[in-house]
Amino acid sequence: MATQGQVITCKAAVAWEPNKPLVIEDVQVAPPQAGEVRVKVLYTALCHTDAYTWSGKDPEGLFPCVLGHEAAGIVESVGEGVTEVKAGDHVIPCYQAECRECKFCKSGKTNLCGKVRAATGVGVMMNDRKSRFSINGKPIYHFMGTSTFSQYTVVHDVSVAKIDPVAPLEKVCLLGCGVPTGLGAVWNTAKVEPGSIVAVFGLGTVGLAVAEGAKAAGASRIIGIDIDSKKFDRAKIFGVTEFINPKEHEKPIQQVIVDLTDGGVDYSFECIGNVSVMRAALECCHKGWGTSVIVGVAASGQEISTRPFQLVTGRVWKGTAFGGFKSRSQVPSLVDKYLKEIKVDEYITHNMTLADINKAFDLMHDGDCLRVVLNMFV
């Protein structure tokens, strides 16, 4: 039955309140308006940023909402004026949009896009500043412009990347967030050179993707730092060459690393979201040139600090969103790269269904879990 132009009622996991279990509801998804795309979400993974917003610590968190932003699916229908995708195309929703027209996109200096960010930050669509999700007439907010914990979602056309239909959607859904973030932090934001010494704080999916990116960039040493020593064996597969558990050292971790590396590392990456660790990551960098990249998302109210002398003496502090990748232009190439070389399957530790989403979030706090992929239609 054709659904184009019709309201679709489907299953979605609704976050009614911070920290309360998600509830699988029948949700009405309105047709896409001008410049919008309705996507049938086939697979979605869970990211720690979903858990962060759900926890109530995200200043942009609005409830009730449909969370989720790491997914893959098929275009169901498009609104007026949409030319770059059509029904049947395989796509990855992109929480970081790319319009190619705004001041940010034209600058060539950033992957951030300004076109729809004001709307996606308050859980609505740009066209009419309203949500396309509702339950019996009550609006449910969008999240990050993607809301992939729903069997159907509506996204802006600038927030969707068309990909090779050969790619397995149950795998490449990971290219919507965590893996590109880690790879791009190394390749685009830090621009790690061959022979560099790299420190990675936090060996979850994002940190392991940093290690994978650093190995591909020819780093000579990749030092993994995690408070859970169980992470170390697996991290070797992703390129980590040495491990440090800060709990096993009396000295501050930055001092331990400086001592081990003849003055500090060339590049460090914070992949946790802990502001004390962000400081350590900066301060373990080599005087004169060491660069530290903040990748982790810290909760509302948290602030970073260090002695300005750390920067006066040549260390550089940076941050990255989606690894600096321009989403619509570069996600399709990442999918092509997946078909040839980059790891993705290796980050998927669990496969579950939408009905089990609360169990899936519980699993994310288990040390063995990297990414859980949910099949949305089983």
List residues binding ligand LAXINWYW (CB under 6 A): 47, 49, 58-60, 96, 112, 117, 177, 297, 321-322
Residue 100 is a catalytic residue: no
The token duo for 347 is 């980050």
Give start and end residues of each alpha helix (H) in the chain: 48-54, 103-107, 117-120, 169-172, 178-184, 205-216, 231-237, 253-260, 275-283, 309-312, 327-340, 357-364
Residue 94 is a catalytic residue: no
Show contacts with Zn ion in window 89-118 (CB under 5 A): 99, 102, 105, 113, 115
The token duo for 280 is 């350590």
Other CB atoms within 10 A of residue 237 CB: 12
CA distance 32 to 39: 9
Rule CB under 6 A: choose which of 35, 93, 204, 324 binds ligand NAI: 204
Measured from the CB atom, the residue of 105 and 335 that comes closer to Zn ion is 105
Residue 371 is a catalytic residue: yes
133 three-class SS: strand
**Residue of 47, 65, 94, 173 marked catalytic:** 47
**Residue of 10, 65, 94, 99 marked catalytic:** 99
Residue 48 is a catalytic residue: yes
Helix 275-283 to helix 253-260 angle (10° resolution) is: 20
**Residue of 10, 94, 105, 284 marked catalytic:** 105
CA distance 86 to 340: 26
Judged by beta carbon distances under 5 to 8 A according to partner kind, the member of ligand NAI, Zn ion, ligand LAXINWYW, none in contact with residue 360 is none
C-alpha distance from residue 8 to each of 134, 203, 255, 350, 365 (Å): 11, 40, 57, 29, 34
**Residue of 36, 44, 53, 70 marked catalytic:** 70
Show contacts with Zn ion in window 30-69 (CB under 5 A): 47, 49
Residue 346 is a catalytic residue: no
Judged by beta carbon distances under 5 to 8 A according to partner kind, the member of Zn ion, ligand NAI, ligand LAXINWYW, none in contact with residue 60 is ligand LAXINWYW
CA distance 320 to 192: 14
Rule CB under 6 A: choose which of 47, 71, 154, 334 binds ligand NAI: 47
- The catalytic site residues sit at 47-49, 69-70, 99, 102, 105, 113, 117, 177, 371
Q: In the complex, which residues of this chain contact Zn ion (CB under 5 A)?
A: 47, 49, 99, 102, 105, 113, 115, 177
